[in-house]
Chains A and B, each alone.
Chain A
Amino acid sequence: MTKNYLKLQFYSLPRNQAFARDAVAAFCLELNPSLSDLSDVKTAVSEAVTNCTVHAYKGNLGLVTIECEIEENSLHIKVSDTGKGIADINQAIQPFYTSAPSDERSGMGFTIMQTFMDEFKVNSIQGEGTVVYMSKSFKAEVENA
């Protein structure tokens, strides 16, 4: 019965990372998430958006699009860019793999998205962009008697 939709589009500026994760967190508040679930969502969104800034557009200005959909007690998130794309997705999602080791990158971004969300998928075409899909279901809040 619950259905809701949000679309956000913004420049890939580092200062928009906090705005993006906070906006998505605020949007999913209607699902009464636990603090731990809310923190997981914020972190996963932060990872996806940071990838757009750091990798997809490599510091150049581009557009990041986030679409969120609430369906029953689930939150579906799609983060897309039109940046350079990922050459080898299997390699990119390996824990600790980073294409920029000199920048103190942990290589844990995709691992965190995978671990913190229930569903995770990434599609990418080189030269065209990358789309990350993530979903999380929230446990129905137990009403106080």
Chain B
Amino acid sequence: MVVTGYTKNKILYISLSGEMDECASQAARAKCDKLIEDNLSVSKIVINLSDVAFMDSTGIGFLIGRYKKAAKLSIPLYVDKPNFAADKILNLSGIYSLIPKAE
């Protein structure tokens, strides 16, 4: 799984690309957390899921973990453009009440 990020207008945009499963999650977690730690002055974080071709429940755990990290820093977290399959899992988990979809 490839994790990339950039900031624009005090927003940290993180893009995930590839398959999010248990195997991929550890490295993705570390890279994502590094991006967050390197950009502590942002006003919000948006995780773009449009290039996530596969996601199982590991994705829920992953997003909740990043949510908790961002919440400790008082930075709101959003997800953007989950594909149909990822959206189904995220809906089932009720995660959108914690991590809304970006407008």
**Which A residues contact B (CB, under 8 angstroms)?**
14-15, 17-18, 21, 35-36, 39-40, 42-43, 46-47, 50, 53-54, 103-109, 111-112, 115
**Which B residues contact A (CB, under 8 angstroms)?**
19, 21-23, 25, 29, 54-58, 60-62, 64-65, 84-85, 88-89, 92-93
Report whether over half of chain B's contact residues are helix, strand or loop; otherwise say mixed: helix
Q: Given A104-B64, A106-B93, A112-B57, decide whether A15 and B23 contact each other with a Cβ distance below 8 A.
A: yes
Report which of A15, A39, A106 forms a contact with B58, defined as CB distance below 8 A: A106
* CB <8 Å contact, A17 and B57: no
* CB <8 Å contact, B21 and A17: yes
Q: Hey, which chain B residues are within 8 Å of A17, CB to CB?
A: 21-23
| Chain B residue at minimum C-beta to C-beta distance from A16 | B23
Report which of A42, A103, A106 forms a contact with B57, defined as CB distance below 8 A: A106
Report which of A14, A36, A43 forms a contact with B56, defined as CB distance below 8 A: A43
Q: Min CB distance, A21 to chain B, in Å?
A: 8
Q: Hey, which chain A residues are within 8 Å of B19, CB to CB?
A: 18
* CB <8 Å contact, B29 and A115: no
